[in-house]
Structure 1
Amino acid sequence: MIWRTSRVSAVKSSALKSSALKSLFVSVALVIPSHCLLAEEGNQEENQAIVEEELTKYDRDHWSYEPIVRPTVPEVSDSDWSITNIDRFVLAKLESESLQPAPPADKSTLLRRVCWDLLGLPPSIDQIQQFVNDERPDAYERLVDSLLASPQYGQRWAQPWLDLARFAETDGYEHDKLRKDAWKYRDWVIDATNNDLAYDDFVRLQIAGDLEHPADDDAVLATAFCLSGPDMPDINSQEERRHVLLNEITSTVGSVLMGLQFGCAQCHDHKYDAISQADFYRLRAFFDSAIELKQNRSVGVLASYEDFPRTHLMHRGDWQQPGPELYPAFPRVVNPSGEMPSEKVAPRLELARWLTETTNPLTPRVAVNRIWQHHFGSGLTTSPSDFGVMGDSPTHPDLLDYLAHDFVRDDWSVKRLHRTIVLSSVYQTASVRPVDADLGAQWDLAQASDPENRLLSHFTRRRLDAEAIRDGLFSVSDSLNRKMAGPSVSPPLPREMLSTLLKGQWSESPNKAEHYRRSVYLFARRNLRYPFFATFDRPSADQPCALRNQSTTGVQSLMLFNSELMMDAASRLCDLIESETSNSKSQIQSLYLRLYARRPTGDELDAAERFLSTDATLVDVCRAMLNSNEFLYID
């Protein structure tokens, strides 16, 4: 039986009885070693062939598939502005459009920006005083190094990966059962981030840690990445469950690590990218023997089997219509040499190593673009999980390749990449229009020419994410519990919400001090997001989230002004300020320093004191200032 695939659909043809016709079809098929494509000769059902269109140079003629070659750093006119090579790439693009970068941000703004970025927290009073008063030329560099060394760094930078890993501590679907040990994977990600585990090791462990280091419990735990998505343990057909899980793993690995939408090829060949349905199931085959299912029991980590797995191409993606058997093989479009997994090494381990080979062009490009995105609000390409032909082309392709090349050269160090980015002049530019007339005119020209700031003439102002807002509310009053690791915490929910829940859906943690731990440690139920997080666009964890939505709604304003969480935060901040001084002027100055990392202007001080002279209290001032855009946005 012949299974013929095309870029449009995968169609099962009628059986070909003519050996001549069969030979004709096979002769135009892509030549793939038998152990990687078809099962050995067997009964009639197993003895089937897949016919695919052979990939051409045109199929691979796409920027993301090209080998990464370190580009030449461009010459620029304003060489004094450039601190790093990042600056030269950006400035060369600006100069080609007759534009100039904005002036640098002031020290207070820069301090606040980099603290929120690297730690997910506002700067402390000590950090503000030390940095503002430090006149040494390397003061900012010293600050960055201290932030990268802080354990708070891992707690902040674990969350973007957990978004990609669709991390939650319940199964989802109707019953949303608890996964009691899921939090251990979250702690593994935090520790790996703090320890600057090389990104290639970080990837390999999550794909095949159980095979690379079978005696290491942490390495085995890392494979929870593959199984962190939704699951339905109580489904009647465990074969259907297996099919759904394997397809979900395959789609996740494709989009998160390679930036390709493999999930589109579950039922038919990809409509645009050179990914056939058979390519999808060959990638899935790497994981086929790695899932051990038991009914009514959640899956945790991958199972270690050493056999050479194989899977079936499912007709139209239907788990009840298995077609030809396929063996593991690397995606053809990014494997021009035709490299094949060896039968001497566990295939999933080979996949993990292939993904992190220095010659693989996708893995470092995708990783670098994601990190850039979290610093600037937008990646060098704005489709972080789609590097295919329908994805967005990078605005600065040479810069992306330069960073990707050096990322690999520098032992895949994520901290080093963060450091390079935040030390650049591009990162340190102002986010507001300069007062100076000439500089203001240059700003206006850049805004008119590039309204979305894709050319990076200035820093793009952006709102804090949900976790940072909550952590910041308690950090400014020194109420944040900075305890590391351990089981998740369930803070109180609004009474009106609790009354609608089933018994056991949310059990408030009895230790009140635990309620003030960092947001990354809050219990993550898939079907019931913590209300504050849901209001501020935290994803549902049903699928990988590469870029969060950023909505602006009336509910957000009401939540920030009237919720019990905000009332508690404002009260705690008020108590701290009143314990420091009873002088209203000093109180206002302390609030501005804690919340905005700057001192108030004369007009601001007068306005706050006039407000206090009415029936308002200091807690009202605290609540108003915590609601301000200056607190909620990074300039």
Structure 2
Amino acid sequence: MTRILTYVTFVLAASTCYAADFEHDVAPLLIRRCLECHQGSEPSGGLSLKSRTGLLKGGESGMAISVDGAEESYLLQRVHAGEMPPPVKGVSQHLPANEVQILAEWIADGAPWPKGRSLDLYEVTTDVRGGRDWWAFQPVTRPNVPQRRDQTDTLNAIDAFIEAGLMRSGLKPAPIADARTLIRRMYFDVIGLPPTFDELEQWKTRFADNSDSLTVNELADDLLSNPQFGERWARYWLDLVRYAETSGYERDQPKPFAWKYRDWVVNAINSDMPYNEFVRHQLAGDEIPTRDEQSVIATGFLRLGTWNDEPNDDADYRYERLEDMVHATSSAFLGLTVKCARCHDHKFDPIPQDDYYRLASAFWPGPIVARTRKFLGGPSAEELGIDNVLGWTDLTPSPPPLQVLKNGESDKPMHAVEPGTLTFAPDLYAAFEPATSEDKTSGRRRQLANWIASPKNPLTARVFVNRLWQHHFGEGLVRSPNNFGYKGALPTHPELLDWLASELVDNNWSAKHIHRLILTSRTWQQSSLHPNAHQANTLDSGNKLWWRANRRRLNAEALRDAMLAASGELDKRIGGEGFKPSISAEALEGFSRKDAAYKASPPDEQRRRSLYSFVSRSLMPPMMTTFDLCDTTLPCAQRDVTTVPTQALAMLNNDFVYARSEALGRRVETTSTKTDGQVVAAWKFILSREPTANEQELAQRHLESQSRNFESAGVDTKHHALASLCHVLLNSNEFLHID
């Protein structure tokens, strides 16, 4: 006992003298190598290295360090043996010699530890995990716009930031794309539909008569005010919130009135609802002062996930539903993988396990009872107070405490948590205030929504403007749009990201303001062709410096809609219940519920935009999935873009594509009795331009050849030859891609 007291006295005396060495060398080593296991209420081996007290106390194997010398210390012995850090998959992890030396010298000096110092696993970023000093958790500050090379050039700030990066790398941007390319690109980008030949020619004339920048501004304003803008951009949000109209699992029963949430998103985007309000409505539209039917419809966001009405274990399944809500919320609004902390502290980001349950408490319905069991699928109309709505509200204003689960297992509850927000930015942490006796809900979701929608939250605006950039350019400034954490990509232009985030907040969270800035920038207007592409590709093959535009293929919905637009069949009605697309008998053969007849909507109803297609989790249209339609089980921030043989085969053989070719053939026939005029009409309808002389000649030869083939088959030669020509054009790269 005397030896121990003497040693403790020595450590206390030395703690101040060696504080600098401790902070510079020892603390980072312990945080990086040891603290993940040796902290908390149940540290590994009973040894806590979070504080001086824990170190001196030792663990289950006795004292960790010895006063007889460094080499006698059990801690150092296990390090030398390769047992600490623990072996990974049976392979020993020996510390580098310099780190072993730091430990040995520190222990030999008496293991000095600054008085009152407590280590925090997440206090600093290391090479294995992010800390609270990670870039994404720092306050958004508005950076100065770089000085432009041409002082007389007054184009927007986006170009100044991009140009500065290019100059540092010795690159120049690609020239501005030609008027036709810009017009077609902007139509698809903003409203998801191609311009007609007449629209394109009218805008080309305006480009010729005015300055390019003025006309681009006018075109952007015109399309952003088009109601089809909301339809195009709603689809991106629906991907992100795992939108579907059925519940998944074996029964895959419909979610009644889910389509009203889809329409709410379209309307919110078209009306330029401030993004902070967009957040509040979806998380707590039933709790806001201006609550109405539309705000309750917005809470359908929380009910869009999969739902198993016959789980094997009710108690387990309520935590699965809780995880879905936490994951959808944190992914969509914060760009964080919070669900990773359900079973343990996050391996890479400053999200302790308690944080997961703090946030989850906003959606916690309480103990499992019959009413709660049903509620996890969603409240009834009586509980919502509104009929015919897929919405969310609380069962009680005072739900019981939510307990942290050991390893995330429902039968292993540990301590209860204080309901509140995440702690990655301690200054912003907020515990949820309890409801008053007059409240009908707990108010926790409203408080969570306010925390997320706060201009002080460092993630919300950054994540959102990054999503807008991504869908305009094909990639985000942060190329992992749902992960701004340690394992995510670093921003290519962090100052530009912060400038855009501050610009969003300073302009009343207006998404249209950011859209307009992007569309009117020279960066967005660049050609996809660069005069020095070889040099640029050598320096930046991923185009992270944005030295050219990315050429992109139409996504599944835009491709289908463009075919309907070309054939003149597109029904542009906005909103309302969707249609059920025709699905081939072969695809239905794999349907698990063969006894439940699938009845497609009438053909006329199926000519609406793809946004209005009924989304069944167990029965997705093969044509759409072939072109990378997203999985609806989890939030999807960025769809896969594949190039596979089945896509070419689908475009050549799919019934929907054939039907559009037939309709195009009939439309072309009405324009002229002469084949040369019909060829011109086909090009105008499908590619929004006239054919070149060479294309005219090739088309004539194709019609003649196909007429002979159909004649020998005894069918209507002229019509089928025209349909065949249209089919060829629908399969062309020019139709399928945006330059």
State the TM-score, normalized to the length of structure 1. Answer: 0.89
1:68-83 superposed matches below 5 A: 68-78=140-150, 83=155
Partners in 2 of 1:262 and 1:182 — Cα distance?
26
Deviation at 1:119, TM superposition (A): 0.7
Pair 1:423 & 2:520 matched: yes
Deviation at 1:530, TM superposition (A): 1.4
1:167 aligned residue (229, 243, 252) = 243
Partners in 2 of 1:399 and 1:471 — Cα distance?
34
Deviations 1:337-358 (A, max 9, x none): 5443333682221110010111
Partners in 2 of 1:154 and 1:253 — Cα distance?
22
Partners in 2 of 1:506 and 1:463 — Cα distance?
35
Query: What are structure 1's unaligned runs of at least 5 residues?
Result: 15-23, 29-50, 434-439
AA at the equivalent of 2:638: L
Partners in 2 of 1:468 and 1:95 — Cα distance?
36
Partners in 1 of 2:405 and 2:689 — Cα distance?
61
2:173 aligned residue (79, 101, 107) = 101
The residue that corresponds to 1:265 in the other structure is 341
1:459 aligned residue (544, 549, 554) = 549
Q: Once structures 1 and 2 are overlaid, which stretch shifts more, 53-62 or 224-233?
A: 53-62
Shift in CA distance, 121/80, structure 1 to aligned 2, threshold 3 Å? farther
1:126 aligned residue (198, 213, 216) = 198
Q: Once structures 1 and 2 are overlaid, which stretch shifts more, 250-259 or 298-307?
A: 298-307
The residue that corresponds to 2:563 in the other structure is 473
1:336-355 superposed matches below 5 A: 336-343=427-434, 346-355=443-452
Partners in 2 of 1:424 and 1:316 — Cα distance?
49
Pair 1:303 & 2:393 matched: yes
Higher Cα radius of gyration = 2
CA RMSD of aligned residues (A): 2.7
Deviations 1:359-384 (A, max 9, x none): 11100000000110011110001010
Shift in CA distance, 78/467, structure 1 to aligned 2, threshold 3 Å? same
| Mapped contact 1:7–1:276 kept (Cα < 8 A) | no
Shift in CA distance, 179/338, structure 1 to aligned 2, threshold 3 Å? closer
The residue that corresponds to 1:56 in the other structure is 123
Partners in 1 of 2:280 and 2:347 — Cα distance?
30
| Mapped contact 2:706–2:724 kept (Cα < 8 A) | no
The residue that corresponds to 1:176 in the other structure is 252
1:91 aligned residue (154, 163, 174) = 163
The residue that corresponds to 1:619 in the other structure is 723
AA at the equivalent of 2:418: Y
Partners in 2 of 1:506 and 1:191 — Cα distance?
33
Shift in CA distance, 360/493, structure 1 to aligned 2, threshold 3 Å? same
Partners in 2 of 1:583 and 1:83 — Cα distance?
49
Shift in CA distance, 575/84, structure 1 to aligned 2, threshold 3 Å? same
Residue aligned with 2:149, SS: coil
| Mapped contact 1:238–1:295 kept (Cα < 8 A) | no
Shift in CA distance, 281/599, structure 1 to aligned 2, threshold 3 Å? same
Residue aligned with 1:427, SS: helix
Partners in 2 of 1:12 and 1:163 — Cα distance?
40
2:684 aligned residue (586, 593, 615) = 593
The residue that corresponds to 1:607 in the other structure is 698
AA at the equivalent of 1:516: R
The residue that corresponds to 2:310 in the other structure is 234
Deviations 1:537-561 (A, max 9, x none): 1112110001100111111111111
The residue that corresponds to 2:608 in the other structure is 517
| Mapped contact 2:580–2:613 kept (Cα < 8 A) | yes
Shift in CA distance, 54/122, structure 1 to aligned 2, threshold 3 Å? same
Shift in CA distance, 293/478, structure 1 to aligned 2, threshold 3 Å? farther
Deviation at 1:498, TM superposition (A): 2.8
Deviation at 1:326, TM superposition (A): 1.2
| Mapped contact 2:404–2:417 kept (Cα < 8 A) | yes
The residue that corresponds to 1:400 in the other structure is 497
The residue that corresponds to 1:569 in the other structure is 660
Deviations 1:172-203 (A, max 9, x none): 11221111221111111111111111111011
The residue that corresponds to 1:357 in the other structure is 454
Shift in CA distance, 213/521, structure 1 to aligned 2, threshold 3 Å? farther
Q: Once structures 1 and 2 are overlaid, which stretch shifts more, 578-587 or 407-416?
A: 578-587
* Number of aligned positions between the proteins: 596
Deviations 1:580-634 (A, max 9, x none): 1223223222333333333322222222222222225111110011011111111
Pair 1:633 & 2:705 matched: no
1:302-321 superposed matches below 5 A: 302-304=392-394, 305-307=396-398, 310-321=401-412
Query: What are structure 2's unaligned runs of at least 5 residues?
Result: 1-33, 44-52, 58-117, 126-130, 379-389, 437-442, 708-720
1:489 aligned residue (560, 564, 579) = 579
Partners in 2 of 1:226 and 1:335 — Cα distance?
27
Shift in CA distance, 589/213, structure 1 to aligned 2, threshold 3 Å? farther
Partners in 1 of 2:580 and 2:564 — Cα distance?
16
Shift in CA distance, 402/608, structure 1 to aligned 2, threshold 3 Å? same
Residue aligned with 2:522, SS: coil
Deviation at 1:493, TM superposition (A): 1.0
Pair 1:212 & 2:279 matched: no
Partners in 1 of 2:601 and 2:137 — Cα distance?
53
Shift in CA distance, 8/158, structure 1 to aligned 2, threshold 3 Å? farther
Shift in CA distance, 478/392, structure 1 to aligned 2, threshold 3 Å? same
| Mapped contact 1:488–1:521 kept (Cα < 8 A) | yes
Pair 1:148 & 2:232 matched: no
The residue that corresponds to 2:537 in the other structure is 447
Partners in 2 of 1:585 and 1:370 — Cα distance?
45
Deviation at 1:444, TM superposition (A): 2.6
Partners in 2 of 1:585 and 1:248 — Cα distance?
58
Partners in 2 of 1:432 and 1:88 — Cα distance?
21
Deviation at 1:136, TM superposition (A): 2.7
| Mapped contact 2:326–2:359 kept (Cα < 8 A) | yes
Partners in 2 of 1:78 and 1:444 — Cα distance?
26
| Mapped contact 1:258–1:363 kept (Cα < 8 A) | yes
Partners in 2 of 1:586 and 1:254 — Cα distance?
56
2:638 aligned residue (531, 544, 547) = 547
Partners in 1 of 2:537 and 2:333 — Cα distance?
34
Partners in 1 of 2:257 and 2:594 — Cα distance?
21
Partners in 2 of 1:226 and 1:79 — Cα distance?
50
Deviations 1:561-590 (A, max 9, x none): 111100011111111121112232232223
Partners in 1 of 2:340 and 2:540 — Cα distance?
33
The residue that corresponds to 2:381 in the other structure is none
The residue that corresponds to 1:534 in the other structure is 625
Partners in 1 of 2:37 and 2:154 — Cα distance?
48
Residue aligned with 2:310, SS: coil
